[in-house]
Amino acid sequence: MTPNLPDVTITGIGSVSPYGPLAGLISHSKLEPSVIATWKTAGLRRAFLVKPFRPAEVVPGLKTRRLDRLSAWALVASALAIKDAGIDLSQVDRSRVAVVFATSFGCVELTEGFYQSAAANGWSGTDPSTFPETLANSAASHVALFHHLRGPNVTVGSKSFAGESALIQAASLLRHGQADLAIVLAGDTLTRTVYEWYEAAALLSPACYNSEPLLEDSGFVPSEGVTALVLEPEGRRELRSEVSSDARSYAHFRSGRWAAGGQPVEVIRQLLGGCIPSLTICAGNGAPCATSSTTALASEIAGHDGTIVPAQAVAAGLVDTGALLHLILALSAHPSGGQALLLGTSLGASGESGFAALLVELP
């Protein structure tokens, strides 16, 4: 069964990542993990971290003093993406703009803060100002509030494929006429409880424990950040391009599919309609990049005819929400046209391999 998603175009990109807050593509340079200093660690611990910055210096007028980092980054990334798309929101019917946010842990910093207040004061003495902000949809609702976006506002999670799921669902909202424009975001913050959970579950790369250059042999290096894309129906972008040179197109999103099991090769070949993608982008979702099962699936799909882009550690460290960053990094490094496939895999509890595949066409 091949989904027939709308012809949707990615017209804007914004990100807050270990590369910093950026509009548009990311000039590609390999990053090394940073040493964690935010909390006390038992020896050297490293991760891909977003360096502290002042949001108001990136987005003038932005007030984030009362927000957690996830919400602040979502505001910055969305504002950068909208600016990058050349969209003047004052000219847009904001009741027709959707926000779809993919996150695994939501506002986990404030959830930790709420538990700390319960630990200190008992459940009867928790902080009322923190509680509403612990909800997973807080970041998406702040994006709506800041930009006055009154369309569908959705926060989703999906094991290994939250980013892919958000992109597919945002395209679905456009296709069904439930929005004219969609801001898709994906990301998470890295906190002590998250990092130490990965550590206790023995999921981390040896590179987390020494200062040697990153070797992608086993485990992964946790990462953090929020990536935002502006999606528009192609017709709308074309109309804008008649009056504005800013109405660019990074890629057309053709169709997508994700599943918890089944026959990925069969399904993806059906999705491709007999074509071989010129670019297959591996989206490592918390898996070791070099040995990922995604790479093996990509080889089976693409054969020897296309370029296979291995998963990037900095995006793979976002685990469930790294797809959009994988896509941006690949578009940044491989600007050539043709069909591109963003491919991810995961291993489910039943032993079946889940997969996600997004088909995009590069202009």
Partner 1 sequence: MIDIRKTVVVTGVGVVSPYGIGLDRLQAGMLSGKCCLAPTNDLYPGFEGTTAQVRELPLPAKGFSSRHSRTDQLAVVAAQDAVAVFDGASVAFRESGVVMASTVAGLTEIDPGIAHDPAAWYRHGGLARAATYPVARVADAVGEHLGVRGPRCAVSVACASGAMAIALAANLLLDEVAPMIFAGGSDALCPFTLSGFNSLQALDPNRCRPFDQNRKGLNLGEGSAVLVLETLDRAAARNANVLAVLRGWAMTNDAFHPTAPQEQGNGLADCMRLGMEMAEAGPDEIGYVNAHGTGTPLNDIAETHAYETAFRERSRPIPVSSTKSYFGHCLGAAGALEAAITISAIRCGALFPTLRLTDPIESPGVDWLRGEVRRQPLPLAISVSAGFGGSNAALIFGSIRS
Among residue numbers 297 through 326, which ones bind partner 1 (CB under 8 A)? 320
178 or 291: CB nearest partner 1: 178
Among positions 145-164, residues that touch partner 1 (CB under 8 A) are 145, 147-159, 162
**Interaction pattern, residues 30-49, with partner 1; x per rule: CB under 8 A:** ------------x-------
270 binds partner 1 (CB under 8 A): no
Query: For partner 1, which is the closer residue by CB, 168 or 331?
Result: 168
State the number of binding residues for partner 1 (CB under 8 A): 79
Residue type, 118: A
CB of 92 to partner 1, least distance (A): 13
Q: How far apart are alpha carbons 294 and 254 in whole angstroms?
A: 21
Residues linked to residue 230 through DSSP beta bridges, in sequence order: 12, 183
Q: Which of residues 179-208 bind partner 1 (CB under 8 A)?
A: 192-193, 196-197, 199-201
Neighbours of 333 (CB within 10 A): 16
Considering only residues 14 through 33, tell me which ones interact with partner 1, judged by CB under 8 A: none
- CA separation for the pair 269, 272 (Å, rounded): 5
**Which part of the chain contacts partner 1 (CB under 8 A), choosing from 9-17, 54-62, 81-89, 111-119?**
111-119
Q: Between residues 130 and 227, which has the closer beta carbon with respect to partner 1?
A: 130
Residue 357: closest CA among 290, 308, 291, 297: 297
Best CA proximity match to 88, nearest among 100, 76, 97, 75: 97
In the range 206-245, which residues lie near partner 1 by CB under 8 A? none
Q: Is 7 in the site for partner 1 (CB under 8 A)?
A: no
Q: What is the DSSP string of 54-102?
A: -HHHHSTT---TTS-HHHHHHHHHHHHHHHHTT--GGGS-GGGEEEEEE
